[in-house]
Structure 1
Amino acid sequence: MTNTKRKWFIYSLVGIGIILISLLAYCIYLYQVINDSRTSEMDTTKTQLLEQTSYVDIHSIESFHGTNSYHVLEAMNEAGEDKLVFYPLEGEQRQLTVFDMEDMLSKNTLIETWQSSCGSCKLVNVTPALVEGEAYWEITYHDNENNYVMNYHSITDGSLQEQFKYPKMFY
């Protein structure tokens, strides 16, 4: 009787182990598929921009999702000028929105200014944003009260234009 219970217990543990390993493998696979889908769209945007415009080099690419979604590229044109390019992800006629990087406040300068004004805050991300045709730096962070905060700063002089605070709902 004891031997039968022990076999049942071992078979149950092996079965649960197989299920957990299978679940972990599926989660890893799902993550890779989703991440490949996201990055392949960026590769497509990069290829289209290089083939169809006068841009010769793309330094970086990231996404911004506001009212409209964009791929945001830091690119160099044939004249050697660095540009910030907003590439819309919707619509058949995609109109690029372009800004001269020499007219912009650098990301590092903005972060230094922000850190001096909010020393105990935890930075999440800084990304270029395009809202109603105006370019901003979007800074997302957790403040000292653990609120999730989104600041929109002017891309030219760094002045704060808009701020959203979302309080933590669960402790």
Structure 2
Amino acid sequence: MSYNHWQDETKKWPAWLAWTSWILCIAIVASLAYCIYLYNDIQHSKMAGITSTKKAVAAKTDVTDISKVTLFNGFEQYHVVEGKTKKGKKKLVFVPKNKKDKKAKFVVVPSEKILPKNAIQKQWQQQCDSCKLVKITPAISKKHLPLWEVAYHDRSDRYILDYFRMSDGKRYEQFGFKSLFD
């Protein structure tokens, strides 16, 4: 009778490899769970306070019908409230998100003093016909001047933030960003 030593060998992984695999799997699952938690927390904090902003706008202005609330990040964070008065007049209200500053006042802009978004878009297209528009959103300057923020990619594939005054469409300022890595 011959002895076959190949039959006695077990085909198990070494103990250190099994432990390392389990630890790695647990670390990946924990990292994934943390990333999901962090994403949800950031999304929640971005739009936190919308209900209190709506109540404050209704209490401190004549805007009664709120149609949209967005967030603008400039020198300060603002909730940008679009709504109508009881008489049906459209208004834009910039509400500072900083609750610590009690002196911060709302900036209310009646629609009669706002150049429409589509007029800004046409003006922009005439200035930069080969550019790719990303978005046009309401913005506000450090001096509380209402602006339109036009974000786009230019011919050189730079990301441009162009700010135009809401009242007359004149350029207020412009920032350009070039990617270091393609």
Equivalent of 1:155 in 163, 166, 178:
166
State the Cα deviation string for residues 25-84 of structure 1 (Å, max 9, x = none). 211111112211222222321122224433211111122222333211112122221101
Equivalent position amino acid for 2:72 in 1: F
Equivalent of 1:96 in 98, 106, 111:
106
Measured on the aligned residues, the alpha-carbon RMSD in Å equals 2.4
Alignment match, 2:6 = none
State the TM-score, normalized to the length of structure 1.
0.83
Distance 1:104 1:15, change over 3 A: same
TM superposition shift of 1:113 = 3.4
Q: Give the distance between the partners of 2:37 and 2:21, measured in 1 at CA.
A: 24
Could you tell me which runs of 5 or more consecutive residues in structure 2 were left unpaired when the two chains were aligned. Answer: 1-8
Alignment match, 2:63 = 55
Q: Where has structure 1 moved over 4 Å in runs of 4 or more?
A: 6-11
Question: Is the contact made by 2:47 and 2:71 (CA closer than 8 Å) also made in structure 1?
Answer: no
Say if 2:178 is the partner of 1:167. yes
Q: Give the distance between the partners of 1:6 and 1:102, measured in 2 at CA.
A: 76
Say if 2:26 is the partner of 1:15. no
Identity %: 35
Q: Give the distance between the partners of 2:130 and 2:28, measured in 1 at CA.
A: 40
Equivalent of 2:50 in 16, 38, 42:
42
Alignment match, 1:145 = 156
State the TM-score, normalized to the length of structure 2.
0.79
Distance 1:63 1:49, change over 3 A: same
Corresponding pairs, count? 171
State the Cα deviation string for residues 77-135 of structure 1 (Å, max 9, x = none). 22221101111233103321111113322223322432344343233332212221321
Question: Is the contact made by 2:63 and 2:91 (CA closer than 8 Å) also made in structure 1?
Answer: no
| Segment drifting more, 119-128 vs 73-82 | 119-128
Say if 2:159 is the partner of 1:136. no
As a proportion of its length, which structure holds more helix? 1
